[in-house]
Amino acid sequence: MFPYKSIIQIHKSNETPVYLQIANAFAREIQNGVLKPGTKLPGARSLAVLVEVHRNTIAAVYEELSMQGYIELLPKKGAFISKRIPDIKPKPVGSKTRVITYPVASGFLIKEKTSLPEIGLVKKSVLEFNDGLPDERIAPLDDLMRNYRSSFKRRGRIQFGYSDTEGNPMLREAISGYLNETRGLQTTGENIFITKGSQMGIFLVSQLLLDKKDVVIVGETSYPAADTAFKYAGASLVRVKIDERGIDVDAIEKICKTKSIRAVYVTPHHHYPTTVTLSACRRMSLLALSERYGFAIIEDDYDYDFHYKSSPILPLASGDHEGMVINIGSLSKNFSPALRVAYIVAPKNVIAELAKLRFIIDRQGDYLLEQALAELFKEGVIKRHLRKALNIYHERRDILCDLLKTKLSGAVNFNVPDGGLAVWTEFDKSRSLKAITMRAAKNGLVLNDGSHYDEGKNNLNATRLGFASMNAGELEKAVRILSGAISSK
């Protein structure tokens, strides 16, 4: 007889009832082709003795298997594996020691649709010169939680049902008002589309605008996650020089004369990664070019609110009357990277298309979190926090720049950034930043070797040193480790 006892393992502590555990064991062996169609199963009484359960339990097993279609119960004849079950090449025969495992790899092909980069996440709870992240320790998280909770308590279907794909209407209004007041825009809530982080904004816009054969202009140094999204949508990239006044708009004009350009991606307030601000003249020239040649300007204002020299420069979108600019901003920089709320500012027809697109990606955002944020805007908490954060980050920028000047003089070269949350730092070419990075990591300081800012093409030997998430003591400690990593060989 088939070794039934060996295929049936009963765990009494398991939540699944015993009869179902046994039925599932049978189903598995039928699926494995071990128990063949037409096979007669043992009588309930003898199987009950064999596996040490009550006879009624086995009766329930057979009932279940019959209902699921695995076996047929023939009156007076007994239980048979259904003849409608296909004949399967048997998998290794069951034994008590056999471990059934989940497949280790897919049996179907996965296409390399595009070479997506490997994900490198930084280890937590070490000192880190990150890319320019905010300090969540100073963020008004308690206020956020208070509002989140009270939204949660309201419990209506509005809170807990499906909601607008474009985002929470209150937050769209709040952001519109904030942008109109601080960035010289003339939007209404209908021009605002809420996304999960600016990455989703960039992804949605890429999918909406780009197709195979389209060309996107980006900086010679650029934001790799945006570049990847453009390439994923099928576009090819043309890189343009960045100098101390931002992206070279004359060079863009030359390119436009020779080929059709679909979009230009810029981070004009503080160029990513080098932090330079696009000059007023170039802004106006770029807008004029976009009108002439019909390309879209994707303006990524990722850390707009943090500008220390003069006031923030008005975004390109504020001077756009022809609907050439799609502006992307983020609230994550005000709180923490984990709170992934950002927004796209665009004419209404663009917003409508974005909504259709997002509907098939993830349908909607986090209504409750968005409502809590909207209330923080209304209460003035966001503005108060931004003023406070601006002061703190301004101070931290000065502390870091001072440390770099006094402790690393000769080894690094940098300009004090007018804004943003990181210092673009060039290391002396005689010292490999890659090696420095590895030595620093061993001593508990994580920093980026900067090679991905230009696809590793030129040996930049430069990186962004984010200062906002560290206080004075941490910055000092970090620079000390960095200094050690530079001098040791």
Residues numbered 77 to 96 that lie near its own copies (CB under 8 A) are: 82, 84-86, 88, 91
415 contacts its own copies (rule: CB under 8 A): no
69 contacts its own copies (rule: CB under 8 A): yes
Quick one: 412 or 449, whose CB is closer to its own copies?
A: 449
In a 10 Å sphere around its CB, with 0-12 CB exposed, 13-18 middle and 19+ buried, how is residue 304 labelled? buried
159 contacts its own copies (rule: CB under 8 A): yes
Q: Quick count: other Cβ atoms within 10 Å of Cβ 418?
A: 18
Strand ranges of the sheet holding 462-466, from the earlier edge strand across to the other edge: 412-414, 422-427, 462-466
Pairing of β 78-81 and β 215-219: unpaired
Shortest Å, Cβ 305 to its own copies: 13
Q: Please give the DSSP secondary-structure letter assigned to residue 136.
A: G
152 contacts its own copies (rule: CB under 8 A): yes
Quick one: 85 or 408, whose CB is closer to its own copies?
A: 85
161 contacts its own copies (rule: CB under 8 A): yes
- Reported for 425-433, long-range contacts at CB under 8 A and 24+ positions apart, including other chains, are 425/462, 425/463, 425/464, 425/465, 426/460, 426/461, 426/462, 427/461, 427/462, 427/463, 427/486, 428/461, 429/459, 429/461, 431/461, 431/486, 432/461, 433/461, 433/462, 433/463
x/- map, 275-314, its own copies, by CB under 8 A? ----xxx-xxx-xx-xx--xxx------------xxx-xx
Q: Are 268 and 283 in contact (CB under 8 A)?
A: yes
Quick one: 148 or 427, whose CB is closer to its own copies?
A: 148
24 contacts its own copies (rule: CB under 8 A): yes
Task: Work out which of 1, 76, 119, 409 binds its own copies, going by CB under 8 A.
Answer: 119
57 contacts its own copies (rule: CB under 8 A): no
Task: Work out which of 4, 129, 193, 203 binds its own copies, going by CB under 8 A.
Answer: 203
Task: Work out which of 104, 406, 410, 430 binds its own copies, going by CB under 8 A.
Answer: 104
168 contacts its own copies (rule: CB under 8 A): no
Shortest Å, Cβ 98 to its own copies: 11
Nearby residues of 145 by Cβ (< 8 Å), 6 or more positions away: 372
Angstrom distances, CA of residue 222 to CA of 247, 273, 406: 10, 6, 29
Binding to its own copies in span 359-388, by CB under 8 A: 359-364, 366-368, 383
Quick one: 163 or 267, whose CB is closer to its own copies?
A: 163
Please tell me the distance from the alpha carbon of residue 192 to that of residue 169, in angstroms, as a whole number: 9
CA 212, 218, 223, 224 dihedral sign is positive
Give the helix ranges, DSSP H, for 408-447. Answer: 433-442
Binding to its own copies in span 317-346, by CB under 8 A: 318-324, 335-340, 346
Number of residues that bind its own copies (CB under 8 A): 134
Binding to its own copies in span 206-225, by CB under 8 A: 207-209, 211, 225
Quick one: 303 or 404, whose CB is closer to its own copies?
A: 303
Quick one: 133 or 485, whose CB is closer to its own copies?
A: 133
473 contacts its own copies (rule: CB under 8 A): no
Task: Work out which of 3, 5, 14, 45 binds its own copies, going by CB under 8 A.
Answer: 14
Q: Give SS3 for 290.
A: helix
Quick one: 182 or 483, whose CB is closer to its own copies?
A: 182
**Closest-CA residue to 208 (of 9, 357, 10):** 357
Q: Give SS3 for 266.
A: strand
Quick one: 137 or 257, whose CB is closer to its own copies?
A: 137
186 contacts its own copies (rule: CB under 8 A): yes
Q: Give SS3 for 480.
A: helix
Q: Are 78 and 22 in contact (CB under 8 A)?
A: no
Please tell me the distance from the alpha carbon of residue 91 to that of residue 281, in angstroms, as a whole number: 72
Give the helix ranges, DSSP H, for 380-449. Answer: 381-407, 433-442
244 contacts its own copies (rule: CB under 8 A): no
DSSP H or E stretch at residue 263: strand 263-266
356 contacts its own copies (rule: CB under 8 A): yes
Strands of 315-443 (E only): list them: 325-330, 342-345, 412-414, 422-427
Task: Work out which of 110, 258, 410, 473 binds its own copies, going by CB under 8 A.
Answer: 110
Quick one: 78 or 319, whose CB is closer to its own copies?
A: 319
Quick one: 49 or 280, whose CB is closer to its own copies?
A: 280
264 contacts its own copies (rule: CB under 8 A): no
Shortest Å, Cβ 79 to its own copies: 14
Please name the amino acid found at residue 73: L
259 contacts its own copies (rule: CB under 8 A): no
Shortest Å, Cβ 263 to its own copies: 8
Q: Are 326 and 316 in contact (CB under 8 A)?
A: no
39 contacts its own copies (rule: CB under 8 A): no
Alpha-carbon 123 to chain mean position: 17
Quick one: 314 or 416, whose CB is closer to its own copies?
A: 314
157 contacts its own copies (rule: CB under 8 A): yes
